[in-house]
Amino acid sequence: MDNPMPLSRPTAPKKLVSRQTVFIFLFGLVLGVAIFSSYHYYYLAKNNFTAKNINVAADGPATFTITDTDHLWGAQNATVTLVVFSDLSCPYCREYHAVLEEFMKTRADKVRLVWRHLPLSLNNVASMSSAIAAECAGEQDKFFKYLSALYPHQDEYGSDFYLSTAASLGLDKDRFSACTESGRFDDRIQANYSEAISLSVEGAPASFLNGRYLAGALTLSQLEALVDPLIK
């Protein structure tokens, strides 16, 4: 299981420091990141994760208000609900979405998947613009198809790519363009982000299985081990 990518949070302003201090700090930071990254990937490669290794929050189950405006995939009245917080520009989220696609192929009549936007930073252009584009595709009932079309091409994100992807799915291009420029989904994305913060979510992707917090990009076998026993 890949660890979630951490969210960018506002920090308090710091006092000015000398250039020498900044250089020493940055050198140490870069070295530390390099060592951590090497260890992280070595650890993932050497360990066979199972459901018992999943990072699960210790608190009780979270509760969600799900309405007709939510993006739902699967059975509307399923007894199993998986709320997913994700960022369209996050590579771990891309991997997790592929897992969700495979998982839902045989469970769409038994599981309800609810999508929530979780941009790693509200100032990240790719995170926000892709979320807005997806919402505008959702206006024409192609939200999840649009996600699946976007994720494999994260290095191509931009207004031209969003529009061409919309056209490839048969969306009305003029309506789509007007939507992306309207700003009417900014509040929804901000609300999704704020909801994740209120639930102490620290990175993307993150999931809540019937309210139970599961951090990171789960594998197919992990999802099966967690969800299938709950399906009635």
* pLDDT per residue as tens, the chain (232 positions): 555 655 544 323 333 334 443 344 444 444 443 433 333 333 333 333 333 344 455 467 899 989 888 999 999 889 999 999 999 999 999 999 999 999 999 999 999 999 999 998 888 899 999 999 999 999 999 999 999 999 999 999 999 999 999 999 999 999 999 999 999 999 999 999 999 999 999 899 999 999 999 999 999 999 999 999 999 7
Q: What is the 3-state secondary structure (H, E, C) of 46-105?
A: HCCCCHHHCCECCCCCCCCCCCCCCEEEECCCCCEEEEEEECCCCHHHHHHHHHHHHHHC
For residue 205, the cross-strand partners are none
Q: DSSP letters of 188-205?
A: HHHHHHHHHHHTT--EES
pLDDT for res 3: 56
| CA 2 – CA 219 distance, rounded (Å) | 9
Provide the pLDDT for residue 98.
97
What pLDDT was estimated at residue 68? 87
As given in the structure block, the two tokens for residue 179 are 């939507």
> What CATH number belongs to 52-230?
3.40.30.10
| β-strand pairing of 206-209 with 212-215 | antiparallel
Specify the pTM: 0.75
Q: Give the pLDDT of residue 7.
A: 52
pLDDT reported for residue 123: 83
Bridge partners of residue 215, in order along the sequence: 206
